[in-house]
Structure 1
Amino acid sequence: RFFDDLEMRHKQNPVIREISDIVEYHTSNRFDAYVIYCSNEIYQQRTLQKLLNSNTQFKETLQQIQSVPECGGLPIISFLILPMQRVTRLPLLMDTICQKTNRFQLEYDAATRALKAISKLVKTCNEGARKMERTEQMFTIQTQLDFGKIKGFPLISASRWLLKSGELTVFVEESGIFRKVFGKQSCFLFLFNDVLIVTRKRSEESYMVQDYAKLDQVEVEAVESNESPHSPPGKAVGGGPFPRSGSNTHLFKIIMRKNSAGELEQIVLATDSESDQARWIKALQEDHDDLVNKEGLPQVEIIKAHLSKQPDELSLQQTDVVVVLQKVDGWYRGERIRDWERGWFPESCAREITNRIAVQRNVQRMERLRIETDV
């Protein structure tokens, strides 16, 4: 119906003077389907993946369908995400119309109303998708954790969600020298927005809780590869570089001022890459990016879509524009201009915008949308 109304307006006059009224009407009265569709996107993708992994006939039939010329060689997922892509583009379209309309004309008021309405819809879509994903995730984790002798607490809460999780190597200090623990000693961290849980992985679906601390009682810092976390900065331990397991190990230290037993506890962890180290440290730190002046920061355009695999990653569509806040080891951390969402994504899916006029225009649009779409 939305397209029919636009087409009818075009037939009335090839030079369309006004579409804001159509956008506002359909956004306010007929676009609830977008919210439902976007909210269930996570289940849709999971069901598709489950069928591809378990149903050979489904997989073969899908491959045949995708091979026809009408599909343009694109996978089914590229069609399933089209509604999400289209609805998130509408605020940018309406913002462009606002900029091309004289502020003293009646059409400008209609355009700003439509912009606010469609921005509110997109926000509701994003919140719906996020809520459904978080709720399912929390229920799953709740069933996988075994607190054992550690004092437990109710994990599921409407105000709690997962920020990051993953398996890390544990380092201990022995004879004054930090070294990698042999025997594959490791821990699995669950980092939520208000609590950090340290576990030992028993299987893909079972974790034994070893300790936890509220996030406001947690500090984190990087550890240089040639110094002990307990030694003065810059002072090597044992007279040699560390760790001995190789230069590809990147360390950071977590300090729990008050753990599950109300005591001070420290743990030194290792990642295999500098980007993983940076991502864990950033996730454990308070976010101060709102204080950063975006005008001097680089920007990139997304040339290849990216689907997030961790909660701290940013899902991106082709042609999205992102302000880069941090760059580490082949990964960017950035803020998406169209909705200000932040997260990490591979450098390989982006191309830097070198035109300074375009960069400045994007910054202005970002700030303008913050004000005009404050819903």
Structure 2
Amino acid sequence: VRKEGGTDAIGDIMLQHLPQLTCYVRFCGRQSAATQLLTQRINSVPELAQLVRHCEQQTSSGKLMGLIQYFVKPMQRITRYPLLIEKLLKATLESHPDRGSLQEALDEAKKLCQTVNESVRETENSGRLEWCQEHVICEGLSEKLVFNSQTNCLGQRRLVHWGTLFKHKGGKELVVFLFNDFLLLTVPVFNTQGRPFVFPSLALDGNAASASEDDQLANSQKQKYRMYKRPIILNDLMTVPEPDRDSGAEPPLLCIRVLPNEDWVFRCQSAQDRDRWKDRLTKTAKEYHNATGE
């Protein structure tokens, strides 16, 4: 309903302002790193912690909100725009002159969300590759393995999947990293205390949260992983069916064939874990094969 002096069209306004939000693409991509850095500083510098608490309490609305929560606001707002515009479209008649502008604004809002999500994924991937460079020891290779670099045929290297597996015979604990061009098996050179491998992450609760025990374990400079086997190019491996066993037998096994005829059998944490590994290995190897044409 148009009020006097107002308008019942908003699509053109959205189209005018959405391009201005692209400045937040890099902001959202760096949000996690900024949050982690601020948290570390708050935990290590008492004066900064006191200043942050003071600023958080100085609000005219009376609603307390942690400084870190402001870091996530742009992402929250940007991801809401497509939902809001979709609601407007549902309430707009097909014959309304604003219909076309709203549809165009919806397309632009979705593209913006996609760009932001890609920026976040690229930043997370880069951070994990740098973590590997610092924590994974790769000795005996003819050339230094630079994790955060370009592949021969797939552009930027990506870390696709990771986790703890155990050799079926002997039960040796391995931490395995699947990249978009090779598979890397490593062994922890410290006592994992029976914890499965996880990458460090930072939970956002709006306060100066400290890292969890898992994060501390993963971040510690003493927590190193040594290369167990030379990196296996994805064209040289494939998943194969489990050995014949009783139906429902435990534990779930993941079977990998390294061409031409070397079979590796791993014990997984669960059937879901095994299925995830099989799915990621199969899809990633297929993408690599298609890219190389081999």
- Paired residue for 2:13? 22
TM superposition shift of 1:77: 3.4
TM-score, normalization by structure 2: 0.68
**Dislocated runs of 4+, deviation >6 Å:** none
Query: In the alignment, which residue of structure 1 is the partner of 2:225?
Result: 207
Q: Residues of 1 paired with 2:125 and 2:63: CA distance?
A: 34
C-alpha separation in 2, matches of 1:207 and 1:233: 32
**Residue number in structure 1 paired with 2:80:** 89
Aligned to 1:37, what secondary structure does the other structure show?
helix
Instruction: From the superposition, tell whether residues 26 and 189 of structure 1 become closer, same or farther in structure 2 (CA, over 3 Å).
Output: same
Contact 1:257/1:263 (8 A) holds in 2: yes
Match in the other structure for 1:167: 164
Is the contact between residue 162 and residue 192 of structure 1 (CA under 8 Å) also seen in structure 2?
A: yes
Deviations 1:118-176 (A, max 9, x none): 22222111112222222232233234333323566554224321123233333316xxx
Unaligned runs of 5+ in 2: 191-221, 285-294
What is the distance in 2 between the residues matched to 1:11 and 1:197? 67
Distance 2:181 2:42 in 1: 36
Correspondence 1:1-375 to 2 at 5 A = 12-13=5-6, 16-28=7-19, 30-59=20-49, 61-62=51-52, 72=63, 75-149=66-140, 155=147, 156-157=149-150, 158-172=155-169, 181=171, 185-202=172-189, 204-211=222-229, 212-215=231-234, 217-219=237-239, 229-230=242-243, 232-234=244-246, 250-258=251-259, 264-271=262-269, 276-286=273-283
Aligned residues: 243
Shift in Å, 1:117: 1.6
Determine helix, strand or coil for the equivalent of 1:172: coil
> CA distance change for structure 1 residues 126 and 252 in 2, over 3 Å: closer, same or farther?
same
CA distance in 2, matches of 1:131, 1:170: 32
Q: 1:235 to 1:164 in 2, by over 3 A?
A: closer
- Secondary structure in 1 aligned to 2:232? strand
Paired residue type of 2:45? N
Between 1 and 2, higher relative CO (CA 8 Å, sep ≥ 6) is seen in 2
Structure 1: distance between partners of 2:112 and 2:97: 23
How far residue 93 of structure 1 moved from its aligned partner, in angstroms, is 1.2
CA distance in structure 2 between the partners assigned to 1:71 and 1:276 by the alignment: 47
Alignment partners' CA distance in 1, 2:3 and 2:66: 33
- Give me the CA root mean square deviation: 3.4
Q: Does the residue aligned with 2:189 lie in a helix, a strand or coil?
A: strand
Amino acid at match of 1:110: S
The one-letter code matched in structure 1 to 2:157 is R
Whether the 8 Å contact between 1:220 and 1:281 is mirrored in structure 2 is no
Larger relative helix fraction: 2
Evaluate the alpha carbon distance shift between residue 48 and residue 218 of structure 1 in structure 2; reply closer, same or farther with a 3 A threshold.
farther
Distance 1:154 1:62, change over 3 A: closer
Alpha-carbon distance between aligned partners in 1 of 2:14 and 2:49, rounded to the nearest angstrom? 39
**Normalising to structure 1: TM-score of the pair?**
0.55
| One-letter amino acid of the counterpart of residue 159, structure 1 | Q
Check 1:274–1:256 CA distance in 2 against 1; reply closer, same or farther (3 A cut). closer
Checking the alignment, whether the CA contact within 8 Å between 1:213 and 1:256 is kept in structure 2 is no
- Per-residue deviation at 1:78? 3.1
Letter in 2 for 1:172: K
Q: CA deviation at 1:257?
A: 2.7
| C-alpha deviation, 1:12, in angstroms | 4.2
Counterparts of 2:239 and 2:3 in 1: how far apart (Å)?
A: 59
Higher strand share: 1
8 Å contact kept, 1:150–1:209: no
Inter-partner Cα distance in structure 2 for 1:146 and 1:113 = 50
Q: Encode CA deviations 1:331-375: one digit per residue, 9 max, x unaligned.
A: xxxxxxxxxxxxxxxxxxxxxxxxxxxxxxxxxxxxxxxxxxxxx
| Alignment partners' CA distance in 2, 1:214 and 1:172 | 24
Deviation at 1:103, TM superposition (A): 2.3
Q: For the structure 1 residues 131 and 264, does the alpha-carbon distance in structure 2 shift closer, same or farther, using more than 3 Å as the test?
A: same
